[in-house]
Structures are given as C-alpha cells and as structure tokens.
Amino acid sequence: MVYFPKHKKRHLSCLVSTAVYSGVLRSNRIEFQFAKQIVRNSREVNLLWNKMASLQKVRCSETFLKGGNDTMALALLGDFLPWQQSTSQTMTTSVFDTDTGEAIADPVKFIQENGAQFSVYSFDLDQRVLGLVKVREEVDIRKKPFLYQAQRENAEELLLLPFDVLPAVADALTESVSAVKNIFLHSTGRCGSTLMCKGMDVMSQVQAVSEPDVFTLIFEHICTRDVPLTSDEKEEIVTLLKHSVTLLNFWLLQNDPSRTVICYKLRSAAVFVADLMQKAVPQARNVFLYRDLTGFYDSSINLMFSGSYWRYFLVTALRLDAFFLSVLMKNMPRMFSYEQLLEHKDQIILKVLEKLDIDVPTDTNASEIRAVFGVDSQEGSAAQSRRRKGDVMSSSWVGTWERNFFPTVLAHFDGDVNDPNFVMPNNMVMN
C-alpha cells in the first residue's frame, strides 16, 4: 500500500509557487513559460488524483445526528464532511476535494488487507466513485435495524473507489467469496421484513443485514430520469451492482467466515430494480414479503403521523386522507405474507430457507428465532412502531371510510390486484 499524504502535496505546491516567483524576477517570458507548465502539471495531477482511490477521515453531518425523519434519507456521499472541519465552520470543502484525503496507489491490496473494516455505503455517478466506510470499532453495524443509518452515524473513514478500478478489486476477491449464497429479501415495507431479517440472522449459517442502500440509490437514479436507460447505462449499473455485492459479501465474510449464506433485506423501492439485481447476481435467490392493504396502510399512517391519532383524526375529518391513500397505494408492489410470519414465526423462517435450498442443521434451536419476535426489530430508529406501549398494542386507526375507499381505488388500478386482501400466486402457506 502506497500513500501520497497531504503534506507532500502541499510541499509540492510550495515548490511550484517558488518556481513561479523566481520566473517573475527573471523575465516575463520565463514567467509565462513557468506559469504555463505549472497549469499543465496541475491539471495532470488533478486528473491522476481523480482516477485514484482515496482515503480520508470523515464525520457525519449534524443533520443526521438529531434523529427524526432525516435519518431515513437516502445514503449519499455528501452525508459526510472532512473531519478537519469543526461543527461551527461553514462547509468550504467536500469529500471529493483532493486536499482532504490520501491517495491509495494499490486499492486491490488495500481492500484485501482492510476489507473487513470497510462496507459499501453509496456511490456518485457524476464523480464515478463508489464509497465505502469504516465505522467506530465499538459499534457492530451489522446488528443495527438499518445498516445505512448505522454506517452514516458512526463513520470515521471514507474510501472512494473510482469505477475504473472496481473490476480489478472485485476480480481479486472473487475466489474469497465463491462459497457465498446470496438472498435478496424484497418487501412492500411495513410488513415485518426487518423482523424476518433478524430471525434469519439467528441461524448458524446465515448473515442477514438490513438495508444496505446502494440498491435504493439505483432505483432513485432510474426513476428520476426523463428518458429510459441506454443499453450502455444499464450495463454500467448492472456492473456497479455486481461489484457492490462482491465487496459487501467480502466485508461480511471477513467478519464471520463460517456463515456463508448472506441475505440482504432491502428498502421496498428496490423491488423495482430486482431485474437488474438478478442480472448482476444471477445465482441469488429472492424472497418477497407483503402485507394486506389495510394492515400496510394502518402501519404507514401510524408512522407518518408519529403515533399521534389526533393528528390523523384531523386529517381524516378534513378528508385529506384521500390524498394519503392515493399516494401510499400508487405503484405499490404486489411469496409469503406478514400474517403468516406472525402466526408461524420460526416455522415460516425455516420453511423459507428450505425453499431457497439452504441446508438447515437438524439441531437448530427454534427458540432463539422465536425470541426475536418479542422485541421491536426497529427499536431506536425513526421507523420504530409508535403503536406498542410496553406490552400493550393500540387498536387500528383504519375505520369504515378507509375500508370502503380501498376497493374504489383498486377498481381503478390497472393490474391484477382487485382486493385489499389479495393473495399473490405461489404464496407460501403453512399447513
């Protein structure tokens, strides 16, 4: 591993400044020649730097440390600031500035030696870099309700890998992760997917991680475009997904080599790029978890109004909930259900793994899986349910008006879902 520290770059800058000054003293012609050469060298240094991997110390922006809905924002590289800046300073630099980090001449060797500490966080298509973060040693982000939030809040270092170096890095890791079996856990959201993830993570051969955000960012990039992706753009995204999964697999495997089944539970929007994910990781198996429309809506509005029924009551009285119903139901993705998960607990999780051809040890302790169901899987996050108070669960907010509204909306829906309690084809059912 070879570094080019900041002080050396500054030293070079001083030498250049001295050269310009000396040139001015001699003649205008020498001044011009020196200045032209310096500009050329400066551009070459910047171009070279932008093509190299870099490492820098960072801290999370204060915005995300205050809690609330901001913590659920998409994971972006701009979420971090160079650590040199104090909280009272106006931000004058970004993580993309060449003066804020150290160049890494051999990113392959660096990842091979340090990959257990760096997990994929986000990417930037304009800068054409993939960002990986190293977090504080005392924090095990793999066990947090949402990986991207824990990465952001606890990041200490940011590694930027240009897209051009990703194939070499991924190729060097291929053999190390060849035994990994990947599972993508898709869902509608508000349907127990985080609970399912924690239940699977109890298994001795499974690592289940909740919401690495690179998949959501792919969806965001595609859906905000005015024109469809070209074939070249689609190929680049598939390649980016492939390398991101390889790096995530390597990170997890380095931390727990015995558990080679790796499940990524995703944000709900990722289901709309499931085709690209499958092209990127053809051997991956997929699970889709959903919930009846009434339960999904009830959980969503409880979260939206922070558990305050009276805020929701006011909106309902003004009939503004028609707007929320329309927004929540628009593009809602449509094989097992939340109700099956809650009713059968460890049995449904073991059956899912069986259907995915995962060998489950005969001595598996089912009680450890059942214990997961006694704890709020999203506790401590902004997405935590506000409905449970201790051991008491408040009643549903969904009344007659909402229940009558569901069929009306579905009647205008151009699809095959025609009932709030629609059951998907090939749905997994416990006998």
* pLDDT tens digit sequence for 389-412: 555 566 787 888 778 888 887 887
Q: Which of 235, 196, 237 is nearest to 350 (CA)?
A: 196
Mean pLDDT of the region 110-138: 97
Side-chain-side CA neighbours of 102 within 13 Å: the count stands at 17
Q: Which of 49-58, 92-101, 143-152, 225-234 has the highest mean pLDDT?
A: 143-152
Torsion sign, CA atoms 192, 198, 204, 205: positive
* Best mean pLDDT range from 25-34, 108-117, 284-293: 108-117
Contacts of 94 (CB under 8 A, 6+ apart): 78, 81, 82, 100
Q: What angle do CA 170, 172, 173 make, to 5 degrees?
A: 65
Block residue for tokens 């449904």: 348
Do the Cβ atoms of 290 and 334 come closer than 8 Å?
Answer: yes
| Angle, CA 209 vertex, CA 218 and CA 168 arms, to 5° | 55
User: Using the 8-state DSSP alphabet, how is residue 369 labeled?
Assistant: H
Band of residue 328 on the pLDDT scale cut at 50, 70, 90 = very low
Residue 299: predicted pLDDT: 81
Q: How far, in Å, are 8, 192, 316, 358 from residue 265 at the CA level?
A: 44, 11, 33, 17
- Give the chain's mean pLDDT: 80
Alpha carbon distances (Å) from 312 to 225, 265, 317, 320, 332: 34, 30, 9, 9, 22
CA distance 210 to 264: 6
Can you read off the two tokens belonging to residue 369?
């899986």
Residue 424 CB partners (closer than 8 Å, separation 6+): 288, 290, 334, 335
Range with the largest mean pLDDT of 166-170, 342-346, 377-381:
166-170
Rg of the chain on CA atoms, in Å: 25
**Structure confidence at residue 25 as a pLDDT band (50, 70, 90):** very low
The whole-number average pLDDT for the span 168-191 is 95
Mean pLDDT for 347-353 is 90
Q: Cα(133)–Cα(154) distance, rounded to whole angstroms? A: 9
Q: How many residues does the chain have?
A: 431
Separation of alpha carbons 323 and 325, rounded Å: 5
pLDDT at 118 over 90: yes
Assess contact for 186 and 110: CB atoms under 8 A.
Answer: no
Provide CB contacts within 8 A for 404, sequence distance 6+: none
The residue with greater pLDDT, 188 or 119, is: 119
Using alpha carbons, select from 90, 65, 52, 246 the residue that is nearest to residue 149. 65
User: 414 exposed, middle or buried (CB, 10 Å; 0-12, 13-18, 19+)?
Assistant: exposed
Give mean pLDDT, residues 361-370.
88
Which pLDDT band, with edges at 50, 70 and 90, does 30 fall under? very low
Confidence (pLDDT) at 379: 63
Over residues 406-427, mean pLDDT: 79
Is the pLDDT reported for residue 13 higher than 50?
Answer: no
124 near 75, Cβ under 8 Å?
A: no
Which range in 84-88, 97-101, 165-169, 272-276 is most confidently predicted, on average pLDDT? 165-169
- DSSP string spanning 140-165? -GGGSS-HHHHHHHHEEEEEEEEGGG
| Average pLDDT of span 10-17 | 33
Q: Of the ranges 45-59, 260-274, 312-326, 361-375, which one carries the lowest mean pLDDT score?
A: 312-326
Is it the case that residue 381 has pLDDT exceeding 90?
Answer: no
Give the mean model confidence (pLDDT) for residues 301-321: 66
Q: What is the pLDDT of residues 195-248, one digit of tens each?
A: 999 999 999 999 999 999 999 999 999 988 888 899 999 999 999 999 999 999
Alpha-carbon span 247 to 95, nearest angstrom: 21
- The 3-class SS string of 325-368 reads HHHHHCCCCCCEEHHHHHHHCHHHHHHHHHHCCCCCCCCCCHHH
CA distance 415 to 424: 13
**Residue labelled with tokens 């869902």:** 187
Looking up tokens 């201790």, which residue turns up?
390
Q: Report phi then psi at 121, rounded to 5.
A: -115, -55
User: Does 26 score more than 50 pLDDT?
Assistant: no
124 in Cβ contact with 77 (< 8 Å): yes
pLDDT band for 315, please (50, 70, 90 cuts): low
